[in-house]
Amino acid sequence: MKTAFFGDIAPIRFEGPDSSNPLAYRWYQPDRVVLGKRMEDHLRFAVCYWHSFCLTGSDPFGQATFDRPWQGGDGLAGARLKADVAFDAFELLGVPFFTFHDRDVAPEGADFAESLRNFQVMADVLAGKIEESGVRLLWGTANLFSHPRFMAGAATNPDPQVFAYAAATVKNCLDVTRRLGGRNYVLWGGREGYETLLNTDLRRELDQLGRFLSLVVDYKHKIGFDGTILIEPKPKEPTKHQYDFDTATVYGFLKRYGLEQEVKVNIEANHAMLAGHTFEHEIALANALGIFGSLDVNRGDGLLGWDTDQFPNNVEDVALPLYHVLQGGGFVNGGLNFDAKIRRQSIDPVDLLYAHVGGIDICARALLVAAEMIESGRLAGHVADRYAGWETPEGQALLKGELSLADIAADVERRNTEPRAQSGRQEYLENMVARYL
Amino acid sequence: MKTAFFGDIAPIRFEGPDSSNPLAYRWYQPDRVVLGKRMEDHLRFAVCYWHSFCLTGSDPFGQATFDRPWQGGDGLAGARLKADVAFDAFELLGVPFFTFHDRDVAPEGADFAESLRNFQVMADVLAGKIEESGVRLLWGTANLFSHPRFMAGAATNPDPQVFAYAAATVKNCLDVTRRLGGRNYVLWGGREGYETLLNTDLRRELDQLGRFLSLVVDYKHKIGFDGTILIEPKPKEPTKHQYDFDTATVYGFLKRYGLEQEVKVNIEANHAMLAGHTFEHEIALANALGIFGSLDVNRGDGLLGWDTDQFPNNVEDVALPLYHVLQGGGFVNGGLNFDAKIRRQSIDPVDLLYAHVGGIDICARALLVAAEMIESGRLAGHVADRYAGWETPEGQALLKGELSLADIAADVERRNTEPRAQSGRQEYLENMVARYL
Amino acid sequence: MKTAFFGDIAPIRFEGPDSSNPLAYRWYQPDRVVLGKRMEDHLRFAVCYWHSFCLTGSDPFGQATFDRPWQGGDGLAGARLKADVAFDAFELLGVPFFTFHDRDVAPEGADFAESLRNFQVMADVLAGKIEESGVRLLWGTANLFSHPRFMAGAATNPDPQVFAYAAATVKNCLDVTRRLGGRNYVLWGGREGYETLLNTDLRRELDQLGRFLSLVVDYKHKIGFDGTILIEPKPKEPTKHQYDFDTATVYGFLKRYGLEQEVKVNIEANHAMLAGHTFEHEIALANALGIFGSLDVNRGDGLLGWDTDQFPNNVEDVALPLYHVLQGGGFVNGGLNFDAKIRRQSIDPVDLLYAHVGGIDICARALLVAAEMIESGRLAGHVADRYAGWETPEGQALLKGELSLADIAADVERRNTEPRAQSGRQEYLENMVARYL
Amino acid sequence: MKTAFFGDIAPIRFEGPDSSNPLAYRWYQPDRVVLGKRMEDHLRFAVCYWHSFCLTGSDPFGQATFDRPWQGGDGLAGARLKADVAFDAFELLGVPFFTFHDRDVAPEGADFAESLRNFQVMADVLAGKIEESGVRLLWGTANLFSHPRFMAGAATNPDPQVFAYAAATVKNCLDVTRRLGGRNYVLWGGREGYETLLNTDLRRELDQLGRFLSLVVDYKHKIGFDGTILIEPKPKEPTKHQYDFDTATVYGFLKRYGLEQEVKVNIEANHAMLAGHTFEHEIALANALGIFGSLDVNRGDGLLGWDTDQFPNNVEDVALPLYHVLQGGGFVNGGLNFDAKIRRQSIDPVDLLYAHVGGIDICARALLVAAEMIESGRLAGHVADRYAGWETPEGQALLKGELSLADIAADVERRNTEPRAQSGRQEYLENMVARYL
Ligand SMILES: [Co+2]
Ligand SMILES: [Co+2]
Ligand SMILES: [Co+2]
Ligand SMILES: [Co+2]
Ligand SMILES: [Co+2]
Ligand SMILES: [Co+2]
Ligand SMILES: [Co+2]
Ligand SMILES: [Co+2]
């Protein structure tokens, strides 16, 4: 360990399902082969800098509760200490990836130039630590939402100078992400939306956002970044309405600006919930639309109306999502990022570890469940049987458009029979899933 | 009056804002000219057959409460009586349009052929009444959700025979809609969704739905129907998830199947709310995306999680939506359909009239408010000023993509200045709107 | 089996966790002893007549989908067949209890007298079947919400004649419940609320409801009914607002009318969710307030805003609630009633069995988890430690009120020190719970 | 003006409904007599220190956006400047009251003693300004939620030392509130709740809270504070669950600890919404239960799940609540506190004034509407008519309990008639209300 932050805690190891050691893995074995691939390569866990090393425990009604020695004081020294602690955590947990915002790893400077210099200094530091530790960068992203300059949007700001500022910021962050070997670059439009339609030109803002994304995609190709550009949908919070509402909305946006082959989605469980969807819905839909990219695995609270970003803690919450990931072929560049924060009262450094150990283990266990569901093939078989009629020549003729509406109607009138109803078997299928858990 | 259903109530007349007669209009004057057009031609009110003449007052926990003499008994005789009462209501209210589902106006028969015959008989009846009364058809639609055959979807059913049945049904309903001079044809996919992903092939169902819609569009052109095909989005209820979730989702779907020039949206206030949007958001977005069609004007209850379909009763709820309609150029084929039902305890025939009188008057008053907002130009002017920077050569260069991301970044670094923040003036604008109300 | 409804399905038996037979128990063994008591005696499962034998698969947008031969036709003959099928189901499932509304088991007659005769005839029938089968009555209740006469409330109706009608109905239902050996009598106020405050005298309606409940309690004592009177809270649906909103509201109501020693709560999982609470919150609160009675164990959908009444299917959803039940001493008269309905597409008789088998097994497994949590004592121990300061003399002095506010303030000023913060350990505790699952 | 903060803006004056001056009142005339009382005395407006002079425009995803010269720097000097600006605002707006938390007006010190000294210094300052300006204190309250020491609760903290610290804080705040002539003292339990039941002893925490409140009530009497003690209910946020969930829950709590004659509620519109209630519901219920105290008048956003605390801006939102206030006899010690904050992008000092001017005017207009509804008596008359049956001897006999359940049943059986249904007239009544708006 580079720092004393976590005291004398030893690296977390696999001890098996019977262990009651709160700092051991019961399910996560990186090298265990599941469906022909190592667990680590399936799950591609990432710890997130923002939540774990930048937050302070404050909330809208309360001050900071965490004692983080790198906060306050000299910016770059703090950033270096923060990086040391972060990599200590990565090592203790044995995770293969991390993720960051530019502003997480390097402090805002007095002006654009200084902010950029700070970021470049820290990029060097991180490059060294990546080299040394073997921990890789799942994705980078630019924080275009915290600073007051972005209060009315970044790409969708009514002031083109803010658009330009944001564009320059992304350009540099994409450069650093590429340099650090990032597998993806994420855009979360936390301020790309509106507070009130009364002061908003919706169409204009959508066009600005389309232009911005096109610029990023062009630049990606220009510099030969071989990772994936990802949009992270979220329907609201901080703004009243965000343009990247959910996967379906992002798909329509990409189609509108001709970017559906270039950009994929980074789906967060809690954001799905805020948009009125299950996590697995968003994944299944992204698979169907060909834009599945990566996951922010966390947990919301269905009784609270904001992004609680809790660590996943229920195997069922993760097993069905992972089943859909596996059915779609698994992650390519994507992975499982813990976009999750410890609760405000979890003030001890060890709480950070408890949270990740629990989250990692739930995901590992969920992977085993999902793999068993895939291997048995019973669920998929049931679905295929249900639609079997569409594989007949008659079904295919309908689907391919070989008959006109009038043709079909003539046929129905001629036959004049009632289709036969079949049970949807929902409870049976739910019980089947419960058996795997 | 053809029937005694409404007793001796006289046609509703305009009596002016000071009237306290609950069966008079205080604001609605069909011939009053607003922004150069008659009120009636702006608002294009439609009474909806389904809610007003088919519902019985039952709810998931209670039986029918309304005494509707046309329910039960011989199907066609009941349907004729129902039509007589409906046209009595249209005349009493003085509305220019009505809307229907095929099944609202004609009873289900023993088989497809008999159902079709019933529908055709009633189409003749309706044609006569339209001729006689001058009340026109805003849109027709087919009920593809009530009968058990559609329990697992119509176009998205796992059984292609149900798809065919639904296609044949729509073919006939579109024929009748065209014959009756309907200005639009609506598709509401109340069962086009899923109850559980466990038995659902999402991608396949989307393709089925795309094919279905393409067949309808092709047929529309074949028969020379000059109205508009509309999709009515709703996110859920009756199913857990419906594919036509909201305007943004429908737009993406239309783009996917190449139908964005052919199909528009019929936006319902309560459905917008269930999807997490304001009514004006959905309208403004449809305008921005070029798919605005028509409105189901009603009211939901933000504290209840289902489609309460109440009559609009708050001028502010309608004024901002109408402002966006006017800004988009007003209705072409569309109009304001009262997709609203009286409460279960409103058991007297006169309650149907109270409800419509209130709804019509609120919309008329809201039109005056919206027109004043348009005429003063202050709100639109404020918005235009806010984005003025984008109209400069520098702004346009950014928007048009004349600069690359690297160009923009180089420029920002060179200038190294902070954009100047400006107040969003939300409270000021809200106060401005409140002044018009 | 008395009837052929379920075909040749054999009684469900325990086959152990490895069974993949969808009609076998994997966890539920009635005679297995857990924490010193038989599983059956812990769980006290009840099948609910209303959902399983009275519903038809209709929903607000769709007609009946289930083929139930006892629907329609002659009332009492249908009621007898229904009872035969119901007891066939109880026997197949091996459950010890059932629950009913008066109207579930006997048809509404032409007037009060005939309805009562029908109910008494069926009470005889049920008494015979109870005798024969050994299946007991967990609770009875009167349906005071389906008939139009109750559309504006039963006890809280603006018409005192409806109050009287409801009172007479409850009197007879309580008589029958007592006669059939019911362990509880439930009041669910599905229409005891309002649709709009505009026509409602809130205070008056609360007083009516208080009087009604007092009458029921007095009558219970008069006839020597030794079961428990239960109120089932639900915040809304069917009405906009129901007076028995949640456990806390019911407690205040009972205190207001001096009934807190007489009446307890029947808590439903889905109703808790609709009120913004977790199931375990409602149980823990009822324990704290001394009014815990019984449970309607089902599952809602956090993304839908109505009472979906699904069968429980996730062990975690049930384990924490049962942990609180066990901590409160377990059920006395109460039990686990499956207030749950199969989905509308689950049209086969066997679907009814799948649903119950899954629900029973989840609860049995959850009981084992909860028992292990109780036995290990680690969770309770952690909580006790957290509050240990309150067991010191200083803590007790504060709690007992031995010091005045001024005394306490003087002491704090004198010491002038900052309390020491301690981690809330939420993630650690969540991981601990996850280990038991 | 004491400060230059608001520039050269002149005091806001009444200019009448036709004014389009955004810094004039169109409806608010303090001296206009409505229902026999001055508008000012009806409405008793208060500006809230916390939202208007302490917030910075930060949100969970963004930094401060407001430039407030009194933030940062020397605590007491800043506090003095803040007070000067606050009283400048009160004077510009012409409001009769303000409200504060102890921590709003005086900075936290290094320890309890210094915090207390700071508060006492500022109490002197405020006393002078109250004297000078004639602006009075509607209520004071102690901030028991922002400092980390309260992260696990104040009265309900697992550590009795935090309870004592909170008790000492309230003692001093109540002393200052009394000294400054405060008409009420408010307790908002923002941390009196739990994040997870796993670490919570619900019953114990309720008892702690009951004790705490009893201590406060005793102390109030001891020092002769003649104002009202108020609890402000809120269901959640910041915590997952707060004990003072809503009015009904607070009532039950007060009954449990014998405090229902001593404590009333301060109802906030946005908190009502978060609890699933309308604002008018909470007021009507508090009236019915005899615990109505005061109002935090603001506005939530039904599509967002958190406390947006917006300024009221829709006359209908306020008119029905004020109608219920007037029906309950109007405010005694209470008033209308703007517990509302300007949006984060409203960065100019004048935005603070726009917001209050709009809020004040909406409430004034709503008062006129509510007064007209009271004066016409039509709504109340309709309600009285609806329940007229309860005023007959038969109705009263039922209500007073003169008949037993068996008596009532015998009577119903004897008469054997069906009660006559009557329309609830919801749409009619909604139209009637719309006419007053
Ligand atoms: Co995320
Ligand atoms: Co999130
Ligand atoms: Co509609
Ligand atoms: Co609707
Ligand atoms: Co229930
Ligand atoms: Co329920
Ligand atoms: Co408040
Ligand atoms: Co608030």
D368-380: pLDDT as tens digits: 999 999 999 999 9
Q: Is D296 annotated as a binding residue?
A: yes
Mutate to test the interface with B, among D431, D433, D435, D437 (most CBs of B within 10 A): D431
- Which listed ligand is nearest to C238 at the C-alpha? 6
Kindly indicate whether the ipTM for this predicted assembly is greater than 0.90, answering yes or no.
yes
B248-293: pLDDT as tens digits: 999 999 999 999 999 999 999 999 999 999 999 999 999 999 999 9
Query: Which residues 194-233 in chain A show a CB within 8 A of chain B?
Result: 195-204, 206-208, 211, 214-216, 218-219, 222
Q: Buried b / exposed e across B52-63, counting CB within 10 Å, b at 16+?
A: bbbbebbbebbb
Catalytic residue among B104, B244, B246, B361: B104
CATH 3.20.20.150 fits B32-376, yes or no: yes
CATH 3.20.20.150 range(s) for chain B read 32-376
**CB within 8 Å: D276 and B303:** yes
Report the chain B residue with the minimal C-alpha distance to residue A148.
Answer: B421
Mutate to test the interface with A, among B159, B200, B282, B303 (most CBs of A within 10 A): B159
* Distance (Å) from the alpha carbon of C273 to chain A's nearest alpha carbon: 7
The yes-or-no answer on residue A277 being catalytic is no
- Ligand 3 mean position, distance from CA B232 (Å): 7
Chains that touch C (3 or more CB pairs under 8 A): A, B, D
C428 touches A at CB < 8 Å? yes
pLDDT of residue C57: 97
pLDDT of residue B437: 87
pLDDT digit of tens for each residue in chain D (437 aa)?
A: 899 999 999 999 999 999 999 999 999 999 999 999 999 999 999 999 999 999 999 999 999 999 999 987 678 999 999 999 999 999 999 999 999 999 999 999 999 999 999 999 999 999 999 999 999 999 999 999 999 999 999 999 999 999 999 999 999 999 999 999 999 999 999 999 999 999 999 999 999 999 999 999 999 999 999 999 999 999 999 999 999 999 999 999 999 999 999 999 999 999 999 999 999 999 999 999 999 999 999 999 999 999 999 999 999 999 999 999 999 999 999 999 999 999 999 999 999 999 999 999 999 999 999 999 999 999 999 999 999 999 999 999 999 999 999 999 999 999 999 999 999 999 999 999 999 98
Catalytic residue among C88, C104, C244, C361: C104
**CB within 8 Å: C306 and B60:** yes
The yes-or-no answer on residue D101 being catalytic is yes
pLDDT of residue A75: 87
Percent of chain A with pLDDT over 90: 98
Percent of chain B with pLDDT over 90: 98
User: Average pLDDT in the A230-237 region?
Assistant: 98
pLDDT of residue A236: 98
Among the partner residues B60, B64, B240, nearest to C304 by beta-carbon distance: B240
What sign for the dihedral angle of Cα A249, A255, A259, A261?
Answer: positive
CB within 8 Å of B75: residues ≥ 6 apart: B106, B107, B108, B109, B118
Q: What is the 3-state secondary structure (H, E, C) of chain A?
A: CCCCCCCCCCCCEECCCCCCCCCEECCCCCCCEECCEEHHHHHCEEEEHHHHHHCCCCECCECCCCCCCCCCCCHHHHHHHHHHHHHHHHHHHCCCEEEEEHHHHCCCCCCHHHHHHHHHHHHHHHHHHHHHHCCEEEEEECCCCCCHHHCCCCCCCCCHHHHHHHHHHHHHHHHHHHHCCCCEEEEECCCCEECCHHHCCHHHHHHHHHHHHHHHHHHHHHHCCCCEEEEECCCCCCCCEECCCCHHHHHHHHHHCCCCCCEEEEEEHHHHHHCCCCHHHHHHHHHHHCCEEEEECCECCCCCECCCCECCCCHHHHHHHHHHHHHCCCCCCCCEEECCCCCCCCCCHHHHHHHHHHHHHHHHHHHHHHHHHHHHCHHHHHHHHHCHHHHCHHHHHHHHCCCCHHHHHHHHHHHCCCCCCCCCCHHHHHHHHHHHC
B12-63: pLDDT as tens digits: 999 999 999 999 999 999 999 999 999 999 999 999 999 999 999 999 999 9
Tell me which fold the domain D30-375 belongs to: TIM Barrel (3.20.20)
* Distance (Å) from the alpha carbon of A209 to chain C's nearest alpha carbon: 30
Whether pLDDT at B101 is above 90: yes
How many contacts does A have with D, using Cβ atoms within 8 A? Answer: 91
Q: Which residues of B are annotated as a binding site?
A: 232, 268, 271, 296, 307, 309, 339
C67 touches B at CB < 8 Å? no
Catalytic residue among D51, D101, D281, D324: D101
SS3 D293: strand
CATH 3.20.20.150 range(s) for chain A read 13-376
SS3 B33: strand
**CB within 8 Å: A204 and B284:** no
pLDDT of residue A1: 86
Contacts of C324 in chain D (CB under 8 A): 197
- Rounded to whole angstroms, how far apart are CA atoms B268 and B66? 25
When pLDDT is cut at 50, 70 and 90, the band that residue C248 belongs to is: very high
Residue A44 one-letter amino acid: R
- Rounded to whole angstroms, how far apart are CA atoms B236 and B147? 18
Mutate to test the interface with C, among D199, D211, D291, D369 (most CBs of C within 10 A): D199
Whether pLDDT at C73 is above 70: no
B63 touches D at CB < 8 Å? no
Contact assessment for residue B196 and residue B151, using Cβ atoms and an 8 Å cutoff: no
pLDDT mean across residues, chain B: 97
- Ligand 7 mean position, distance from CA B327 (Å): 38
CATH code of C13-376, in short, is 3.20.20.150
CATH 3.20.20.150 range(s) for chain D read 30-375
Q: Buried b / exposed e across D201-237, counting CB within 10 Å, b at 16+?
A: bbebbbbbbbbbbbbbbebbeeeebebbbbbbbbbbb
C172-184: pLDDT as tens digits: 999 999 999 999 9
A248-296: pLDDT as tens digits: 999 999 999 999 999 999 999 999 999 999 999 999 999 999 999 999 9
Q: Is D232 annotated as a binding residue?
A: yes
